[in-house]
Amino acid sequence: MLSYRHAFHAGNHADVLKHFVQVQLHLYMNQKDAAYTYIDTHSGAGVYSLDSFQSTKTAEFDTGIGPLWNVTDAPAPLKEYIDLVKGMNPSGKMRYYPGSPYVAEQMAREQDRLRLFELHPADCKILADNFRKLEMHKAEQGERSRGRRVLIEHGDGFNSLKALLPPPSRRALVLIDPPYEIKDDYKRVRDALEGALGKFPSGTFAVWYPVLQRMESRQFADRLKRLPAKEWLNVTLTTTTPTPDGTGLHSSGMFILNPPYTLEPILREVMPYLARVLGKDAGARFVIEKGTQVTGAAAGRIVGDTPRTPVGNARRASPLSGKGSLRLPGQSMPRPEDAPAPAGKPARPAAPRDAAPRSNAARDGTPRSNTPRDAAPRSNAPRDTASRSNAPRDGAPRSSASRDAAPRSNAPRDAAPRSNAPRAGAARPAAPSAPRNGRTRQGGGRG
């Protein structure tokens, strides 16, 4: 985890992209008089010697600051970055290259604060020594030093970021550029940004990341686009075609959350120049994307110098919702009523409302009867026109006379013994489980 030393990679094309963007962010923050806090989660050594053993072993500066050292046609925004690097080399010879802490120290104003974190013990000591020498040099020149406005801490910047937000001035510029030696760095960057945005949603957060063949690197930018920031801006620079085995750093990117509105036009001006000067073959290119937190989709993209606009707004089908589609860009969705009928099953025309009701006839053509089997139709006479007979159940039919035609008999029940013999033609009693709906067990209904 602590084996990474940036001295082997100082001044390469990834540093050019990172520090050029950092200079532009500082220039924008300096436009307001209010002080701001610069936070660097992975500061490194601060200053690197390009003639040291580490730098000369890899000579990666030949892919970045080397080709830009003697250019005369650089765009004005890029020239501001080149002049800062040349300011460290007054002899005119390319010997020293600034890290992000030194860029911040040169670009920030006296009232601005720097919070620098470095986990590697050797680099943290070199960083502190470099700033001590810088303070001594300023004192010799009669310049005012920052004093306690610069704090260097040996620790993990991921764990300390959230505690520093929001800053006292409510203005902050945060740079996150871990070595990405382990896969967990990608997740830690996203988690740190999510927590930082929760405490300080208006801060400007710049993230450097390598574009590699591993899955975590390819999905990294898309994961950052889902963070709850108001806007985001993503720029990548590729200097050479990736090797078949995927080794080597051929491309890198800068992802900025809440970017200044001035940064995108500057990138459109400078990135074509960087791709042309630093490119090694036909694979050299750049990509600029921007978007908002609502959709997270790219609002515009430029590949090379040709603009490309996304077409359509395809939705992703969800197996849970049962809705959505996988239609191609520009393809219209068919409406349900426009769908053709299945082959072999002609569509049945709808019956008009005034058509005759469906027949209840049986299959043999005989009308189906709706009356109970072997039962007389129910009478529709009023209930008070006929009464039930109170005669004993001795087999005699009930009287259908009205109640006032024959008064109810008051004879004692023992006047005529009740017969338990079944009546002739009586209906079979209903099953005990049949529901009672007002009919007698013999099957007769109310008259």
184 sits in which H/E element:
helix 184-199
Residue type, 6: H
Select which of 177, 191, 354, 414 is catalytic. Answer: 177
What Cα–Cα distance (Å) separates residue 334 from each residue in 154, 322, 325, 331? 62, 16, 11, 9
> Are 184 and 149 a contacting pair, CB within 8 Å?
no
Instruction: Give Dmax over CA atoms of the chain in angstroms.
Output: 144
Side-chain half-sphere exposure of 20, counting CA atoms within 13 A: 31
Provide the b/e sequence for 238-252 (b: ≥16 CB within 10 Å): bbbebeeeeeebbbb
Place of tokens 């010697």: 49
Q: Pairing state of beta strands 251-257 and 231-238?
A: antiparallel
Give the CA angle between residues 80, 84, 85 to the nearest 5°.
120
Q: What is the distance, to the nearest Å, from the Cα of residue 109 to the centroid of all Cα atoms in its chain? A: 37
- Which residues make Cβ contacts (< 8 Å) with residue 190, sequence separation at least 6? 223, 224, 227
Helices (H), 202-296: 215-224, 263-278
- Is 177 one of the catalytic residues? yes
What amino acid positions are annotated as catalytic residues? 177
